[in-house]
Amino acid sequence: MLRTFTYGTLIFLSALFILPFYWTFITAVKDISELYQYPPVFWPSDVQWENFITAWFKQPFDVYFKNSAIVVVMSTIGQLFSSSLVAYGFARFQFRGRDVIFIVLLATMMIPWDVKMIPLYMEFNMLGWINTLKPLIVPAYFAEAFFVFLLRQYIMTVPIEIDEAARMDGANAWQIYWRIHLPLMMPALVLVGTFHFMNAWNDYLGPLIFLNDQSKYTLTLGLSMFKGLHETDITSIAAITVLLCIPPLILFFFAQRYIMDGAIGSSVKG
Amino acid sequence: MSGVQDRQYQRQKFVDKLTPYLFISPWILGFFFFTLGPLVFSFVMSFYDWPVVGEREFIGTQNYEVMLTQDPLFWDSLWVTIKFGLFFVPFNIILGLLLAVLLNQRVIGSGIFRTIFYLPSVISGVALVTIWAWIYSHEYGILNFLLGLAGIDGPNWLGDPNWALLAIVIASLWGLGGTMLILLTGLQSIPKELYEAAKMSGVPAWARLIFITIPMLSPMILFTFITSIIAAFQQLTIALLLTGGGPLESTYFFAMYIYDNAFKHFEMGYAAANSWVMFLIILALSMMVMKSSSAWVYYEGEMKKGGNKDA
């Protein structure tokens, strides 16, 4: 009885969760004649793969893609590097003010982005960074609190004796970080890289505020432009939506093991 | 000790002292340039009439006074945000908890179910909006078709001021996978012996849920409670793209009000004042939840204090 209820609920809810994806996908590949049919067509008689190509050329999506790729790759490198450095610093050293600084770091996670959005705009404006990709890349080189926290937790599970042994062999702090901890952190770095990739790839408000020229747009901005340009071009909107969803979904499937292993949960527990 | 050796020793000591700060320096610098600096800057701005171009002028607390006493949009958008939060926060936690409890039983294919429920959390807010805009479409939307099958005459979701906010709540709830995952991890860390002991003493399933699961899970629930409140207040992408704040400003969120003041009306000082009010509200709400938590959150042993002090 309870089993039936459990499976029934799970199957019903997962159908509900999947349906929007499926509906978007078939909207993207439907022929225009089936798009507005009533009752709706759930199984297109003919899959129009070329809809994706048509949609891609409705706007300069190759430019948007290039911009998105630059932002994502450059900022992910910076995030992995800076956050792991900082995490190592907090995890493995005793220094004056460490605990206070760490609490401040945790507290910064509470600050809403909206409060920083306006002054950051002014700041980047003064630096001449508006309408460049820099505001979307450079901050990632200065570590993010949540990732520092996650990586620090991970480093602290590594026995300190490993560090001590390396030090005996003459390794300095940098070498211990670079040769020992960085390789050991790999699973946690995959997690951080995945989260950061998704944040950067999916970001809409950052590009919206910091970019003006179409030649600087990222994919999310391009997709949102469809609303103004071709309000009724549902097929193209759906096609680009599908394409936009693919990279994070693929990445998620690869990194799933690390995400589901409870890294999120264990970081909450602290 | 000779002079040279002494100098070397001093130098080494200095380097050792400096090393940790060098490692954390990226965050320290980032903190000053991208967090503390902007925060202070925005606080100063909030006391100015500060257009993007042209002369700025110190006006004291006038921004705050105007906002609180002469700007109905401030109160309206705040009320929209609170209404959204009143729907979104409880449903986000209750549904997330329901899914987590179901998945925590020994179910075949639980990994697949878990993945399915998490998938929507992975995609962009813009994609989420385009997906739901088509689902909600009044004429061709699949939602009203499905409701029609059940004999329900679906409303004009995005065009009716009575329904648009609810439409945003539903679309937002599609992304509850993160909450589910956190609660699921919490469930898995509850010792099995507790349930076995309760089962042996004949405690029924519903009582086990209320008297074991919920209390043991309460620290996680507290965390998701606070993060969903923050999420509700920062709701911007969906409102901006799905409804544009309409119809009749029924989905004009507080975050959108700030955005419009800053980047549409270019009143940077006023918008900065708005954003500080948002910050203070979030802070106050989080404090209230935290304060009340001693009454309803159960910490096992030293877990409470263990938190972040395990350094």
One-letter-per-residue 3-state SS of chain B? CCHHHHHHHHHHHHHHHHHHHHHHHHHHHHHHHHHHHHHHHHHHHCCEECECCCCCEECCCHHHHHHHHHCHHHHHHHHHHHHHHHHHHHHHHHHHHHHHHHHHCCCCCHHHHHHHHHHHHHCCHHHHHHHHHHHHCCCCCHHHHHHHHCCCCCCCCCCCCCCHHHHHHHHHHCCCHHHHHHHHHHHHCCCHHHHHHHHHCCCCHHHHHHHHHHHHHHHHHHHHHHHHHHHHHHCCHHHHHHHCCCCCCCCCCHHHHHHHHHHCCCEHHHHHHHHHHHHHHHHHHHHHHHHHHHHHCCCCCCHHHHCCCCC
Q: Do the chains contact at A238 and B286, CB–CB below 8 Å?
A: no
**Domains of chain A, earliest start first:** 56-269 (1.10.3720.10)
Distance from CA of B105 to the nearest CA of A (A): 9
Is the pLDDT at B27 greater than 80, yes or no? Answer: yes
Q: String of b and e for A186-218 (b: at least 16 CB within 10 Å)? A: eebbbbbbbbbbbbbbbbbbbbbbbbeeeebbb
| Interface test mutation site (partner B, options A90, A114, A176, max chain B beta carbons within 10 A) | A114
Contacts of residue A224, defined as CB under 8 A and 6 or more positions apart, other chains included, come to A204, A208, B126, B129, B241
pLDDT grade, residue A195 (50/70/90)? very high
Q: Where are the domains of chain B?
A: 3-45, 70-306
Please give the mean pLDDT across all residues of chain B.
88
Least confident of B1-10, B208-217, B221-230, B254-263: B1-10
Q: Please tell me the predicted confidence (pLDDT) of residue B308.
A: 42
Distance from CA of B183 to the nearest CA of A (A): 8
Spatial CA neighbour of B224 closest among B77, B59, B95, B112: B95
Among chain B residues, CA nearest to A22: B131
Spatial CA neighbour of B132 closest among B141, B122, B119, B123: B141
Average pLDDT over residues A8-22: 94
pLDDT in tens, A102-146: 999 998 988 888 889 999 999 999 999 999 999 999 999 999 999
Q: Please tell me the predicted confidence (pLDDT) of residue A230.
A: 56
Q: Do the chains contact at A99 and B311, CB–CB below 8 Å?
A: yes
pLDDT grade, residue A163 (50/70/90)? very high
pLDDT grade, residue B258 (50/70/90)? very high
Q: Which amino acid is at B161?
A: P
Distance from CA of A119 to the nearest CA of B (A): 5
Among chain B residues, CA nearest to A117: B38
pLDDT grade, residue A261 (50/70/90)? low
Nearest to B26 among A13, A85, A113 (CB): A85
Is the pLDDT at A231 greater than 90, yes or no? Answer: no
Q: Do the chains contact at A204 and B230, CB–CB below 8 Å?
A: no
Of A267 and B293, more confident: B293
Among chain B residues, CA nearest to A237: B130
pLDDT in tens, B58-91: 998 999 999 999 999 999 999 999 999 999 999 9
Chain B residues whose CB is inside 8 A of the A234 CB are 134
Is the pLDDT at B309 greater than 50, yes or no? Answer: no
CATH architecture of B70-306: Orthogonal Bundle (1.10)
Q: Do the chains contact at A249 and B123, CB–CB below 8 Å?
A: yes
Q: What is the DSSP letter of A46?
A: S
The predicted model scores a pTM of: 0.89
pLDDT grade, residue A178 (50/70/90)? very high
| Interface test mutation site (partner A, options B122, B281, B282, max chain A beta carbons within 10 A) | B122
pLDDT grade, residue A229 (50/70/90)? low
Q: Do the chains contact at B236 and A205, CB–CB below 8 Å?
A: yes
Nearest to B145 among A40, A85, A245 (CB): A40
Of A247 and B294, more confident: A247
Q: String of b and e for B137-151 (b: at least 16 CB within 10 Å)? A: beebbbbbbeeeeee
Chain A residues whose CB is inside 8 A of the B45 CB are 118-119, 122
Relative to beta strand B48-49, strand B57-58 is antiparallel
Nearest to B113 among A10, A88, A95 (CB): A10
